[in-house]
Amino acid sequence: MNEVVKYHNDLNSVSFRSWSAEEMNLFFTVIAKIRDNGIETIILETDELKELTQFADKHHKRWEEVMVKAGKKVMNLQYYETTGRNFSIMNLFQEFTVNPDEQMIVVSATARFEYIINKIQANFTTYELEEFVNLQSTYSKTAYRLLKQWRTVGKKEFKIETFKRMMDMPDYYKPSEIDRLVLKPIMKELPQFFKGLKVKKVKSNKRGNPVLAYEFTWSKEQTEEWVDGKYDKKPNRSGKTVRKENLPDWAKKDYVQPKEVMLPKEKQDEFNKRLARIHANRN
């Protein structure tokens, strides 16, 4: 599976409250599929989404429930933006229709929120979807997304209030419960993706030494200009070979965005008929 999730870092400020691991997998799979499509309506095949999310349950009813629950939460996702004295609240999607009979999900992003998915240029978070969906804990999934934003820095500190909000943990969790229920699964699953990952409590000097923040550190990823053939297999003195790096096409210096190709008329007609059936069933 070579799908790459790539989105604006502002999406990491959105709290995914009460989302299950399966629902998170579906949402970020949709993000991977619809990026670079603007606000146009996109039809996604549910069988492909099921495969990409590695949904193991063979019962179609369970898969339908995950799609519907994720869809309801998607439509309630809100992004808060403050510019000077202005404060805005925006939704992510204007449509997220689940149609089990047609085996499709129909998605379109809102115009105001489009830039978070598509206008990602220098300020973006990117990772392979397979790594994300294989994480079992929702705390691990959220920490993975947040730390990937700082992958080339190798350090990120979260104030305890922010950490609790972003992890969507109960407000009553004490440091001992955070250690056992939140940090333990994170430190079990994420070191394979963040070399040398460590977490340190930042404490106050006041009585009782309350925890003020959590500081994550790891070996930062090295970035440099890509050179074609840099990791091609080459014999060396020991007779061993050098590993070949499979860099995604979009990350290469000479990458050119493919031109959009119009669907054949029969495909366009089929698309429009399917949309018409969906909207007719909703009325």
* Residue 155 identity (one-letter amino acid): K
Determine the distance from the C-alpha atom of residue 212 to the mean position of all C-alpha atoms in its chain, rounded to a whole number. Answer: 27
Look up the CATH number of domain 1-134. 1.10.10.10
Looking at per-residue confidence, does 19 or 121 come out higher?
A: 19
pLDDT at 256 over 60: no
What percentage of the chain reaches a pLDDT higher than 70?
65
Confidence of residue 129 (pLDDT cuts 50, 70, 90): confident
Q: What is the CB neighbour count within 10 angstroms for residue 266? A: 8
Looking at per-residue confidence, does 153 or 241 come out higher?
A: 153
CA atoms within 13 A on the CB side of 181: 12
Confidence of residue 110 (pLDDT cuts 50, 70, 90): confident
SS3 letters for 100-163?
CCCCEEEEEECCCCHHHHHCCCCCEEEEEHHHHHHCCCHHHHHHHHHHHCCCCCCEEEEEHHHH
Element (H, E) at 78: strand 78-83
Residue with tokens 């993000």: 31
The tens digit of pLDDT for each residue in 93-107 reads 888 899 988 889 998
The tens digit of pLDDT for each residue in 185-237 reads 999 999 999 999 999 999 998 888 899 999 999 998 876 554 444 444 444 45
Tell me the pLDDT of the chain averaged across its residues: 77
The tens digit of pLDDT for each residue in 138-160 reads 999 989 988 988 888 999 999 99
pTM for this one?
A: 0.59
Q: Where are the domains of the chain?
A: 1-134, 137-223
- Report, at the CATH architecture level, how domain 137-223 is classified: Orthogonal Bundle (1.10)
pLDDT at 133 over 80: yes
First to last CA, the chain: 38
Under 8 Å between Cβ of 73 and 19 = yes
